[in-house]
A and B are shown apart, each in its own frame.
Chain A
Amino acid sequence: MSVRLFVRLLPVVLGAGVLLVPWLERSAAQTKGFSHTEQHHKAKDCAFCHKMPTSNWPTARGYPDVAQFPGHASCFGCHKTSAVFTGGKPTFCLGCHSDIAPGRAPFKKFPVAGRAREFNIAFPHRTHQDLLARLLRRGDVAPGHFVNAAWRPADEKNAVRNSCAVCHSDTKAVPVVKTPPIKDGLDKVSDAASGVAAASPAAGFFKADPEGHATCFTCHYSGIKAPSTDCKGCHAATPAFKPTEAIARYSVRFDHAREQHKTDCMSCHVRIAQSDDSRALKDPDVPLLACVSCHGKPFNSSDRKNKDYWQSALNNEIIGRQKDKAMVCAYCHSDDVGRYDIPASHIALKK
């Protein structure tokens, strides 16, 4: 009896299974969209789908790069073609194609603007100091995908002596600035903003991060590790994130373009130069020690109108705070930062 029942039910179970499997694939593709971090995708090597360089690089980028979505074989090597339809519409295809119609299926621009990113880049500054010296950046190649931040292209005349300028040039547009988290358990000395706003930066105030692969590939296209075909050599998968365009600054009043500040980047950016991963830095990249080599000399009697005031900035601000606890430190900081308790690092360097 049980055998008969099993035989009768078998076609029903198999039929349901056949119907269910594509439905599950389709469901995942539609509700979540494509994700590099999905376990089956993560198990593949990047080269399983991505070709480096893609054939369209001469027109899309101007330099050899991954400038296009992977081909159909990458998707349908695993996914069933029946999985592309939802309610009669080929929604699966819309991950890469902007339109699906008989006879035409134009691609979306790669990478898709506004789509969440799934990779971070790890740049070991410590390693690169040894190799670089005086290479100049060129800004005439199209930006790529992975690195989005942009400060501004450098004054190339002055960049000659700075290896950092290979990647970090002056910004052309003033970026949005945000206050980094205040650490060390410091408290605000006043709640309301005192009206000491951020300085009004002009061109050259900030520095840019490299955009796309062009800078990296200048040396890493092939030959030395990591070559352009080894995505994991530089990129690490992360949960999907929307990159912020805002840059974080404790001292929004430091102007890179100011004549007195045109020195070797290494004179001030000493913490990052010792770092393998700038994201892991717990303290500001530029320690206060770098500032007081010029600022903070002991001219305590100077007032703000005095031409020597800049030399006494640190001392004056600390003394001012001691006299008036609600005073906002404004020489270097906007009020978002300057109304917090003075950190121990500053007090230690007061003359």
Chain B
Amino acid sequence: MPTRLLLLACTLAALVGAVPGVAQQAKTGRASLVVTTQVTIGGTKLILSRKRFFLFTGNRGANAELEKRVVAHAGEFRSRDCFYCTQGVSKEYLDWLRAADCETPYCREVSDADLKIPEFAAAYKLALVQYKGKPDIARRWITPFITAPIRDGFYQQKKQLQTTILGDAKPLGAVMTDATSYKATFIDIPITKPNDKGLEAFFLTNAVPIEFQGKAYTWVCPVNLKVGNTQFQLPTKDGDKSCKLIIQELPKCSAGGCTK
């Protein structure tokens, strides 16, 4: 009889011990995060199409150095208008970029009418020689003949700033918002060390300021994720959801220079 009781006690102890183990196992797995970027700030409804966001593992403390760099370098961002303005591009070229919210001439096809724009006209002339007088190829494959600074200089500048800001921080994911719902969807996020509520700390930021209607926006947000999907809307105020939100007025292009 004591033996039976001992066996029963051992079995119960094993079961009790196993329960937390099962619960712990159930909390690990894969998570997804859908970031909604369609927010209104100061009366401006932000339309953030094709903007990049980064997700890092760890809480705010673990990403303190990254956060410092994001904040410190936010002021170095040069707007599209400002960049091209200081490159001395024609008004027509800048207008062409603005027309479809383009950052570079890779943005859309150059039409026949666009060939009147001085920068495209010069490139087209060179392209015609290279492409043996084939006007259609010369027009469509025109970008190689646009001078490098005004072709991919703005992209390179942003990429350089991004490299500086990220430093040695390796993002778990880098996702762009889509062009219809303006959401950024992170998937396959490993939840390996959840707390007792099943949550694990991550760190979300766009790192490089996002330009929209004359202002630049930078978010730095701690986010807690669990197995399954989490929806997260960007905050509209600094301090909301423990996020840092930096809003900067961007310089305007005027007389070949940039002014605040």
Contact = CB atoms under 8 A, between A and B. Distances in A.
Contacts of B176: 129-130, 266, 273
Given A135-B109, A136-B108, A270-B175, A63 B137 contact: yes
B32 A287 contact: yes
* Chain A contact surface mostly: loop
Interface string B126-147: 0000111010010011011100
Contact of A270 (B102, B104, B187, B227): B187
B181 A219 contact: no
A85 interface: no
Interface residues of B, number: 44
Interface string A117-135: 0000000001001111111
Interface stretch (B63-71, B83-91, B148-156): B148-156
Interface string A277-307: 0000001000101100000000000000000
B143 A130 contact: no
Contacts of B188: 271, 283, 287
B183 A267 contact: yes
Contacts of B108: 133-136
B106 A135 contact: yes
B134 A58 contact: yes
A136 B141 CA distance: 13
Interface residues of A, number: 39
A274 B180 contact: no
Interface in A228-284: 263-264, 266-267, 270-271, 273-274, 283
A280 to B, nearest CB: 13
A267 B50 CA distance: 11
A76 to B, nearest CB: 29
B144 A222 contact: yes
B180 A263 contact: yes
A218 B179 contact: no
Interface in A131-164: 131-136, 138, 161-163
A246 to B, nearest CB: 27
Interface in B170-226: 173-181, 183, 185, 187-188
Contact of A223 (B101, B102, B148, B175): B148
A136 B109 CA distance: 7
A64 interface: yes
A14 interface: no
Contacts of A161: 179-180
A128 to B, nearest CB: 9
Nearest to B227: A348
Interface of A: 58, 62-64, 126, 129-136, 138, 161-163, 217-224, 263-264, 266-267, 270-271, 273-274, 283, 287, 289-290, 348-349
Contacts of A271: 187-188
A57 B201 CA distance: 56
B199 to A, nearest CB: 17
13 contacts: A58-B132, A64-B131, A133-B102, A220-B144, A223-B144, A224-B143, A266-B178, A266-B179, A267-B178, A273-B175, A287-B188, A348-B228, A349-B229
Contacts of B151: 223-224
Contacts of B132: 58
In the A-B complex, the 6 residue pairs with the closest CB atoms: A266-B178, A223-B144, A264-B179, A264-B178, A134-B108, A264-B180
A289 B229 contact: yes
Contacts of B52: 129-130
B6 interface: no
A162 B179 contact: yes
B107 interface: yes
Interface in B41-71: 50, 52
Given A64-B137, A218-B140, A132 B106 contact: yes
Contacts of B144: 219-224
Given A264-B178, A267-B178, A131 B104 contact: yes
Contact of A289 (B102, B107, B145, B185): B185
B143 A219 contact: yes
Interface string B72-106: 00000000000000000000000000001111101
A262 to B, nearest CB: 9
A161 B49 CA distance: 10
A287 to B, nearest CB: 5
A219 B106 contact: yes
Nearest to A128: B106
Contacts of A267: 178, 180-181, 183
A62 B133 CA distance: 12
